[in-house]
Amino acid sequence: MVEQSRRTVNRRSLERNERFSDISPEVGQIDIVAFDELMEEEPDEALTMLAAMSQATDVELARFAKQLACRLVLDVARLGPARSRGTGRLVRMPASVDRTDLDIDASMEAIITARADRRPVALDDLTASGWQRPSTALCLLVDRSGSMNGERLAAAALAAAACSYRAPFELAVMAFSDRVIEIKGLQEKRDIEKVVSDVLSLRGHGTTDVALALKGAARQLATSTAQRRVTVLLSDAEVTAGRDPIPMARALDELIILAPSDEARYAEDLSRSAGGRLGLLDGPSSLVGTLRSVLA
């Protein structure tokens, strides 16, 4: 379970955004028409505001905003082709001594032909069924150190949703600061809306131990049989606690770092030193396209 804090954002703080009064004209309300207009004009501002409202002191506003945010980020993240559709899929393959799940229906023609010829049916004429391993497993690491403002929350929620469409059953989501919180285990069955909701419930806390987070990702991905095992680090990668993350980063199969374009110095250094790939974010709305690009 995600650790939740009692810290909330009061209405006065939200009103620092001059568009907030248009979006929420009354306590506990969101004007959907006004929000849709803002989403059309300024998607980054809209996503950031909605994520901030999900932490509002106004309980009804927070509940409504979180519900809307969950639906919205899932819709936005759905853009683009999925990379994987499960832990594996059942496929047909030539029979062999180590494949005991004979597919009788698919093998029937070979069996009938062999009987008509009065000969034993050859093993390689038969068809077996088996599970083909998934193409990609992902472990998303969300940096929650320092302050989790609306922009960072929106990006984190979008990252969780986008990763879920590329590895829906081989996905781990963890949040980290000076310790690691498991939001979803790699093979754990959890509705993605609940995962996104938990991400939106994150509060900023503590220092940044990147090495510890990468170690957690390695443990999660060690259980996967996927052809690709990818760690996605959503962070500026500035280390303020723990060990040097480079040795742990080099030990991973694949490392992708998603960092704000205006705070990319440490992420660039880690990516270069570890042989990873770096995606730069220009606001939350750029996350889906950037992730798709660096995963390709």
- From CA 58, how far away is CA 29, in angstroms rounded? 10
Residues 73 and 214 in one domain: no
Q: Are residues 21 and 64 in the same domain?
A: yes
> DSSP characters for 176-197?
ESSSEEEEE-TT----HHHHHH
Q: In what order do the strands lie in the sheet with 228-234?
A: 180-184, 171-176, 136-143, 228-234, 254-260, 277-281
Range of the domain at 168: 136-295
Highest mean pLDDT among 73-87, 98-112, 125-139, 250-264: 250-264
**H/E element, 70:** helix 59-77
Average of per-residue pLDDT across 174-201: 94
**Is residue 195 domain-shared with residue 157, that is, in the same domain?**
yes
Average pLDDT value for the chain: 86
Residue 206 lies in a domain: yes
> Smallest Cα–Cα separation from 53: which of 44, 66, 41?
66
Residue 82 in contact with residue 112, Cβ under 8 Å?
A: no
pLDDT of residue 234: 98
pLDDT for 230 beyond 90: yes
DSSP state of 228: E
Percentage of residues in the chain with pLDDT exceeding 70?
A: 84
**Which pLDDT band, with edges at 50, 70 and 90, does 114 fall under?**
confident
- Distances, alpha carbon 266 to alpha carbons 11, 79, 213, 245, 269, in Å: 35, 30, 16, 11, 5
Q: Is 82 left (phi over 0), alpha (psi -120 to 50) or beta?
A: beta
Give residue 96's pLDDT band: very low, low, confident or very high (50, 70, 90): low
Do 201 and 239 belong together in one domain?
yes
Q: Residue 131 — very low, low, confident or very high, per pLDDT cuts 50/70/90?
A: very low
Q: Are residues 195 and 277 in the same domain?
A: yes
Tell me the H-state helices in 80-120. 104-116
Domains identified in the chain, total number:
3
- Residue 55: DSSP 8-state: T
The answer to whether residue 87 scores a pLDDT higher than 50 is: no
Q: Is residue 110 part of a domain?
A: yes
Whether 286 and 142 map to the same domain: the answer is yes
Q: What is the mean pLDDT of residues 213-224?
A: 97
Distance (Å, whole) CA 259 – CA 278: 8
Asked whether residue 211 falls in the same domain as residue 248, the answer is yes
The mean pLDDT of 161-178, rounded to a whole number, is 92
* Same domain membership, residue 163 and residue 235: yes
Choice among 47-51, 66-70, 116-120, 209-213 with the minimum mean pLDDT: 116-120
- Does residue 82 lie within any of the structural domains? no
- Of 9-13, 84-88, 114-118, 129-133, which gets the smallest average pLDDT? 84-88
Task: Please give the Cα distance from 36 to 288 (Å, whole number).
Answer: 19
The pLDDT > 90 percentage for the chain reads: 63
pLDDT at 172: 97
- The vertex-97 CA angle with 91 and 102, nearest 5°, equals 45
Q: Are residues 119 and 253 in the same domain?
A: no
Residue 63 placed within a domain: yes
Confirm if 166 and 220 have CB atoms less than 8 A apart.
no
Same domain, 93 and 236: no
Return d(Cα 55, Cα 145) in angstroms, integer: 17
Reference 197, options 80, 101, 63; nearest CA is: 63
